[in-house]
Structure 1
Amino acid sequence: QSSKDLGLLETSTNCILLHTQVGLLSGICIIVGTIIGSGIFISPKPVLANTEAVGPCLIIWAACGILATLGALCFAELGTMITKSGGEYPYLMEAFGPIPAYLFSWTSLIVMKPSSFAIICLSFSEYVCAAFYASCKPPHVVVKCLAAAAILVLTTVNALSVRLGSYVQNVFTAAKLVIVVIIIISGIVLLAQGELRQERMGWGKVWMVSLWPRLTWNSLCILRVVLNSRNLPLAIIIGIPLVTVCYILMNVSYFTVMTPTELLQSQAVAVTFGDRVLYPASWVVPLFVAFSTIGAANGTCFTTGRLIYVAGREGHMLKVLSYISVKRLTPAPALIFYGIIATIYIIPGDINSLVNYFSFAAWLFYGMTFLGLLVMRFTRKDLERPIMVPIVIPILVTVTSVFLVLAPIISEPAWEYLYCVLFILSGLIFYFLFVYYKFGWAQKISKPVTMHLQMLMEVVPPEKDPE
């Protein structure tokens, strides 16, 4: 294959997006399909546990949807103002310089993306295991082994073929929508029949970090390319509230058939719902929930593998991570690296600790990105802004981000936050050794490692980097 073919294969999807404007409806579908993953199937329990009552639980879901919409609008302004690829990296580079930008790249690839992958695969594993351990909690070793197997399979699929990975994603996205519709319609029917099981409606304490539904804001970097400046904010204003309504209705469906105590005691909330509502076809729920979560995991693997590929190409990671498989023409080294890191996170952690781990790191850089938007309102007035949100919105989401970073540390200190900070700061070592100063002895270490890995995996550097 020619170097041109190698480059175009890895960016074929991006090239289509760059040259094709899609309509408002397609933009809304992209938002809905990206956000709905495993969160709604694993978050109801920790959200209810922290709010301690049904009413505040539903209000928190609604409030998170409003905040997500405001944050997405800020990302829309950033994406149309700075049109470079790389998620938050170019925004932080423009606002604060190379070190914060590199630390985001480092943290995203070492902490946020792999821990997110691990969370989704663990939730997939728990729902699959729940079907075989109906009367008891499945052993941790079984759950973790199945999650690790899921990571291995998805990494292999995406390393073998771009087409195969895309096909798997399309199938599981359809399954995701099916299970959401089933749960919502079942809940509406039961409500119409006058059924609602609850113990009390009241206010309890709220720990916002564990309440946030998982949102992939940097997917808006794709949307700002395929949507024009008029449709982008409309897609956000319609799409994210639509997801919020789905989440609220699914929670209402859960509470229709379970009391808060029963929901907290459930091993898998959606499975318990299916057992009570859809029997004898209750097997449909865990099957489609598993499809939904594995689809979300596949999408994460597909996109993040290419982020790692770009980081290697830019010299922010080992150069071998930017190499391409000779036989498969996929970024196999980047995908294998991503799968290994995600598997490591599965070994010591559970879903709740990983959610805290992921949320802390994510909100730290979300806050920096929102602050960067405020800074550039004064330092980069020359930049064209096709979309410009009222300044009160970035101020609000910046303050909220600071709260979400500090609140868990103050209210319930845990080792996960210290580990996360250490991971972030350790990026400075790699930055100064391999990126800034490029010490000769560091290059002597990295070059033979790159050479041996290249021969082992049969990969080569692209002769021409994709634009």
Structure 2
Amino acid sequence: MGLCSKKTDEFRVQANSGSASGSSQSGSGKIELKKEITLFHGVAIIVGIIVGSGIFVSPVGILQNVKSVGLSFVLWVVCGIYNALGAVCYAELGTSIPESGGEYVYIKRAFGEIPAFICLWINFLLICPVGLAAMSLMFSVYLLQPIFPDCEIPQLGTRLLAAVILCLLIMVNCINVKWATKVQVVITISKLLALGTIICIGLYYIGKGETDSFKNSFEDSDYSAGAIALSFYSGFWAYSGWSYLNFLVDEIVNPNRNLPLAIGISMTLVIVFYLVANIAYLAVLSPAEMLLSPAVAVTFADSTMGVVRWIMPILIAISVCGTMNGTALGFSRLFYVGARNGQFPSVIAMINYKRYTPIPSLLVIMILSLLFQTSSDIFYLIEMEGFGFATVLVMVFAAQVYLRFKEPNLPRPIKLPIVLPIFLCLVSIVIVILTFVQKPNESFLALGLVAGGVVLYLIGVKWKSKPKFFLDRMGKLTVLVQKLLQVVIPDPEQVNWE
């Protein structure tokens, strides 16, 4: 890891001698990522990532645990506020440390290389590829459902279509950042139209007097800590994705203004849409009908949309596709930054000198995601992903608190009361503990994978006296990949060349 032969100097010199043109080159001739993400694009990216399958499926999980409509609404709002507060904390970190890489950069600055690598490894192995594999399979299932309305969808067809959509989205991200953000804008509009359709139909039913589901709405509520915690976990998953824009800070136009604005606008939109969508669901479906539904939006469409009910599974598939696109866009920059700091093979820190996109990072994500698509139990892996994400949040909020004492004079365009990240850190710790209690097998397996990452770090990064034949082989492989993908180091001063 962090390896690159001196033979790559050939490509590095070409990169700095004016072989590329455009706004991506600074006056010193460096090739770097472009600032092309506006406030509108930022809002579209965050909303596009958050509004995935969650609102179309998760209402069942919350209602099932708290057992009442009223308390489920309370949990949706509380979960939204919690995630919004987390997003605000990320906004402080993102404007104080305006570098792409998000949580990896913050943890590294606070605690050093090993905790930062653990964060990078969790994202690399558990969060990003597992999430993309699961979402691509969900996309495939929803898109094929209208074709196979009365029989089981062929497994081979599901996996092939999932692989195709994954490769297509990775290709779009490889070709042009503007294409990726434009795709995200189109998909975000599509999913908001889907939610808007649900909301309009629900309001129509309420106007007709269909309000039985809201009578005695807190009756039989389960206020136990376990029920509320499990419901909170479901809502937490539905709102996940708000942190991904911090991975792209280097590419945001005027990040000090646009990053916090994008987070604030998008989180407000999502909370309102989620709450109103749940009201719409219950205007049409009884709580019992919702609990029997594997995908509440599809059941809703079956009950209200008649011959055009097939549209809803397609809209859900498009929604999931948007989450996949935003995930690939954000995480590719995270791994790119990690490699730039010498914690991954240096080829991942390279970008295409014509298109200015991190193609090696994107291709690694694609390969890992395709491997996870072959799993016979993808939902088992998703539960491990939840453990990984909660663990990363603990580290991020702890880093935010520690940086207040370590670097008190760090410029902070946004400065929050320190009690806020302390509170969120404690809540995240509780979530991790509850994950061990509720899902011990998945949690301990994930813990083992994290421990394996530490071993790889010691071998790949800390072991400096590697054999010469190994270094030569890695150098030749790096040059070969550079030639095939036409990639170069964008900023040699920031790369570990050992």
Calculate the TM-score normalised by the size of structure 1. 0.86
Q: Deviations over 1:425-461 (max 9, x none)?
A: 2222232222223332353553344345445x34342
1:202 counterpart (220, 230, 246): 220
Q: 2:35·2:253 contact (CA, 8 Å) conserved in 1?
A: no
Supply the distance in 2 between the matched residues of 1:221 and 1:444 (Cα, whole angstroms): 33
Tell me: CA distance 1:381–1:109, structure 2 relative to 1, closer, same or farther (3 Å): same
1:318 counterpart (337, 345, 350): 345
Tell me: CA distance 1:14–1:418, structure 2 relative to 1, closer, same or farther (3 Å): farther
Tell me: CA distance 1:373–1:460, structure 2 relative to 1, closer, same or farther (3 Å): closer
Supply the distance in 2 between the matched residues of 1:179 and 1:107 (Cα, whole angstroms): 33
Bigger drift between 177-186 and 212-221 goes to 212-221
1:5 counterpart (21, 27, 30): 21
Supply the distance in 2 between the matched residues of 1:230 and 1:147 (Cα, whole angstroms): 37
- The amino acid that maps onto 1:75 is Y
Q: 1:55·1:202 contact (CA, 8 Å) conserved in 2?
A: no
In structure 1, the residue matched to 2:183 is 168
Query: Are 1:417 and 2:443 an aligned pair?
Result: yes
Tell me: CA distance 1:270–1:463, structure 2 relative to 1, closer, same or farther (3 Å): closer
Where does 1:317-336 land on structure 2 (aligned, <5 Å)?
Answer: 317-325=344-352, 330-336=357-363
Where does 1:239-388 land on structure 2 (aligned, <5 Å)?
Answer: 239-325=266-352, 330-348=357-375, 350=377, 352-388=379-415
Tell me: CA distance 1:6–1:120, structure 2 relative to 1, closer, same or farther (3 Å): farther
Bigger drift between 383-392 and 52-61 goes to 52-61
2:106 counterpart (91, 95, 103): 91
Q: 1:69·1:240 contact (CA, 8 Å) conserved in 2?
A: yes
2:88 counterpart (64, 73, 89): 73
- The amino acid that maps onto 2:320 is T
- The amino acid that maps onto 1:124 is F
**What SS class does the counterpart of residue 308 from structure 2 fall into?**
coil
Supply the distance in 1 between the matched residues of 2:381 and 2:285 (Cα, whole angstroms): 27
Supply the distance in 2 between the matched residues of 1:449 and 1:7 (Cα, whole angstroms): 30
Q: CA deviation at 1:275?
A: 2.1
Query: Are 1:443 and 2:454 an aligned pair?
Result: no
Q: Flag structure 2 segments of 5+ consecutive residues without an equivalent.
A: 1-14
In structure 2, the residue matched to 1:43 is 58
- The amino acid that maps onto 2:390 is W
Tell me: CA distance 1:324–1:75, structure 2 relative to 1, closer, same or farther (3 Å): closer
1:144 counterpart (159, 162, 172): 159
Query: Are 1:392 and 2:419 an aligned pair?
Result: yes
Q: 2:133·2:373 contact (CA, 8 Å) conserved in 1?
A: yes
Tell me: CA distance 1:404–1:445, structure 2 relative to 1, closer, same or farther (3 Å): farther
Tell me: CA distance 1:466–1:96, structure 2 relative to 1, closer, same or farther (3 Å): closer
Count of residues paired in the alignment? 460
Q: Flag structure 1 segments of 5+ consecutive residues without an equivalent.
A: none
In structure 1, the residue matched to 2:10 is none
Bigger drift between 196-205 and 130-139 goes to 196-205
Q: 2:247·2:330 contact (CA, 8 Å) conserved in 1?
A: no
Supply the distance in 2 between the matched residues of 1:420 and 1:319 (Cα, whole angstroms): 26
Supply the distance in 1 between the matched residues of 2:91 and 2:78 (Cα, whole angstroms): 20
Supply the distance in 2 between the matched residues of 1:3 and 1:38 (Cα, whole angstroms): 44
Higher relative contact order (CA 8 A, sep 6+): 2
Q: CA deviation at 1:7?
A: 8.9
- Of all paired residues, the percent bearing the same amino acid is 33
Tell me: CA distance 1:141–1:182, structure 2 relative to 1, closer, same or farther (3 Å): same
Calculate the TM-score normalised by the size of structure 2. 0.81
- The amino acid that maps onto 2:24 is L
Q: 1:364·1:405 contact (CA, 8 Å) conserved in 2?
A: yes
Supply the distance in 2 between the matched residues of 1:280 and 1:59 (Cα, whole angstroms): 35
In structure 1, the residue matched to 2:3 is none
Tell me: CA distance 1:13–1:272, structure 2 relative to 1, closer, same or farther (3 Å): farther
Supply the distance in 1 between the matched residues of 2:285 and 2:398 (Cα, whole angstroms): 42
In structure 2, the residue matched to 1:57 is 72
Supply the distance in 1 between the matched residues of 2:164 and 2:415 (Cα, whole angstroms): 45
Tell me: CA distance 1:463–1:384, structure 2 relative to 1, closer, same or farther (3 Å): closer
Q: CA deviation at 1:94?
A: 1.9
Q: 1:257·1:273 contact (CA, 8 Å) conserved in 2?
A: yes
Q: Deviations over 1:307-340 (max 9, x none)?
A: 3333333322222323445786643332221011
Q: 1:27·1:223 contact (CA, 8 Å) conserved in 2?
A: no
Supply the distance in 2 between the matched residues of 1:230 and 1:319 (Cα, whole angstroms): 32
Tell me: CA distance 1:427–1:26, structure 2 relative to 1, closer, same or farther (3 Å): closer
Q: 2:138·2:320 contact (CA, 8 Å) conserved in 1?
A: yes
- The amino acid that maps onto 1:331 is P
CA RMSD, aligned part only? 3.3
Bigger drift between 41-50 and 66-75 goes to 41-50
Tell me: CA distance 1:122–1:7, structure 2 relative to 1, closer, same or farther (3 Å): farther
**What SS class does the counterpart of residue 266 from structure 1 fall into?**
coil
Bigger drift between 229-238 and 191-200 goes to 229-238
Tell me: CA distance 1:330–1:397, structure 2 relative to 1, closer, same or farther (3 Å): closer
Bigger drift between 383-392 and 50-59 goes to 50-59
Q: Deviations over 1:269-319 (max 9, x none)?
A: 222212221223223222222222212212222332333333333322222
Supply the distance in 1 between the matched residues of 2:21 and 2:276 (Cα, whole angstroms): 47
**What SS class does the counterpart of residue 8 from structure 1 fall into?**
coil
Q: CA deviation at 1:228?
A: 7.2
Bigger drift between 136-145 and 302-311 goes to 136-145
Q: 2:45·2:184 contact (CA, 8 Å) conserved in 1?
A: no
Supply the distance in 2 between the matched residues of 1:405 and 1:158 (Cα, whole angstroms): 33
Supply the distance in 1 between the matched residues of 2:205 and 2:393 (Cα, whole angstroms): 39
Q: CA deviation at 1:27?
A: 6.4
Tell me: CA distance 1:376–1:454, structure 2 relative to 1, closer, same or farther (3 Å): closer
